[in-house]
Amino acid sequence: MSAGAILVTGGAGFIGANFVLDWLANEGSPVVNLDQLTYAGNPANLAAAAKDARHVFVKGDVGDRALVGGLLREHRPQAIVHFAAESHVDRSIHGPAEFIQTNVIGTFSLLEEARGYWSGLAGTERGGFRFLHVSTDEVYGSLNGADPAFTETSPYAPNSPYAASKAAADHLVRAYHHTYGLPAITTNCSNNYGPFQFPEKLIPLMIVNALAGKPLPVYGDGLNVRDWLYVADHCAAVRLALRKGRPGETYNIGGRAERTNLEVVRAVCAALDELRPDRAPHAKLIRFVKDRPGHDRRYAMDPRKIEAELGWRPRHGFESALRKTVEWYLDHMDWVNGVTSGAYRDWTELNYGQGGRA
């Protein structure tokens, strides 16, 4: 890759915003950030880049081909990094249509515009161009306790509308490489946590509810297992895949940090007990609630390919990075209050009632 601009989609969301800030700090080339600012997109996540001339924010839909085509012609990016998606499994169960629209049709539109743009490039610009599609471990379905972790050759078996929409997008990306030669790379990552995560996802929801003295809703028996990765480690993996990844390849990313949901919630409570001892023990707020329909039992990623081929290693251990995350939320109550006073609350109220687990 040469040192030109990149086009990031979904860069006002949790991982996208972390990635944009990480890119500006570590790579330094300009970022055009296309984000529709759905309920999950928050300009406050990008406050640190607000005055940075290298960051160009554009509010718009990845499915708007005229807009995307115009941005590609105007900024001539060296890469497209595609984060934009509807990302919350529970929302996909209540209303799958938006997931198909953004994750499938939106990705298709972006691929079409990328193909047109890339076909018109020549020389090193063409050789260095990359389309990096950010995907998830959920496309592989659910593991049983003793099963080995997912590898890049594990069969796809998506179980939720969210996972199915991401799987469809992954297949389109694969086909655009195979059929048209588009230099595309897909990364499939496990569950992320860290700053700016919207408090509908497990870790920030538990922090925010605990701080408000609200119940900490845990699905089913709490023994569903996820493989956790600190968001900065995911961002570093994506940067590395852009620089050194082989077009047409997929890379699994995970932190070898499998934990049950209950372990995660207890770890959040333990960190809060230390940092806010006046309210301890926070674990007294834990409540078991009716399980999510079709809830996958276990995900685990085998990251050996990205480790061996690209030299990636996670730099953050689960316990210390979780504590750092809890501290971040405590230090950014303005951000938390801004988010929780918005549409998120209405949506949660409507679907789950007060204190519900979104």
Ligand X SMILES: NC(=O)c1ccc[n+]([C@@H]2O[C@H](COP(=O)([O-])OP(=O)(O)OC[C@H]3O[C@@H](n4cnc5c(N)ncnc54)[C@H](O)[C@@H]3O)[C@@H](O)[C@H]2O)c1
Neighbours of 155 (CB within 10 A): 8
Is 35 part of the annotated catalytic residue set? Answer: no
Instruction: Specify the residue for token string 């079709």.
Output: 294
Contact 35, 10 (CB under 8 A): yes
Establish whether 233 is a catalytic residue: no
Catalytic residue, from 86, 137, 170, 233: name it: 137
By CB under 6 A, residue 13 contacts ligand X: yes
Within residues 29-48, the interface with ligand X by CB under 6 A covers: 34-38, 40-41
If one counts every other C-beta atom within 10 angstroms of the C-beta of residue 39, the result is: 16
CA dihedral 94, 98, 100, 104 (to 10 degrees): -140
Residues from 114 through 143 that contact ligand X (CB under 6 A) = 134, 136
Query: Vertex 191, ends 226 and 285: CA angle to 5°?
Result: 65
Longest Cα separation, the chain? 63
User: What is the number of the residue whose Cβ is closest to ligand X?
Assistant: 13
349 contacts: CB under 8 Å, gap ≥ 6: 356
Which of 99, 81, 108 lies closest to 15, judged by CA? 81
Q: Is the Cβ of residue 245 or residue 285 nearer to ligand X in the bound state?
A: 245
Q: Where are the beta strands (DSSP E) in the chain?
A: 6-9, 31-35, 55-59, 79-82, 130-136, 184-189, 191-193, 216-219, 225-230, 250-253, 258-260, 286-289
Contact set for ligand X, span 188-217 (CB under 6 A) = 189, 191-192, 198
Among the residue ranges 82-90, 148-156, 285-293, 343-351, the one whose residues contact ligand X (CB under 6 A): 82-90
Nearer to ligand X, 237 or 285 (CB): 237
Q: Which is nearer to ligand X, 285 or 299 (CB)?
A: 299
Considering the complex, state which of residue 16 and residue 217 has its C-beta at the smaller distance from ligand X.
16
Query: In angstroms, what is the minimal distance from the CB of 130 to ligand X?
Result: 17
Residue 10 as a binder of ligand X (CB under 6 A): the answer is yes
Instruction: Identify which range of 8-16, 151-159, 296-304, 343-351 contacts ligand X by CB under 6 A.
Output: 8-16
Q: Which of 176, 198 has the CB closer to ligand X?
A: 198
Question: Of the residues 162, 193, 219, 251, which is catalytic?
Answer: 162
Residue 258 φ then ψ, to 5°: -75, 130
- Residue span binding ligand X (CB under 6 A) among the ranges 83-91, 140-148, 257-265, 290-298: 83-91
Determine, following the binding rule CB under 6 A, whether residue 16 of this chain makes contact with ligand X: yes
90 as an active site residue: the answer is: no
Q: Which amino acid is at 136?
A: T
Distance CA 294, CA 339 (A): 29
**Residues noted as catalytic:** 137-138, 162
Which residues contribute to the site for ligand X (CB under 6 A)? 9-10, 12-16, 34-38, 40-41, 61-63, 83-87, 102, 106, 134, 136, 166, 189, 191-192, 198
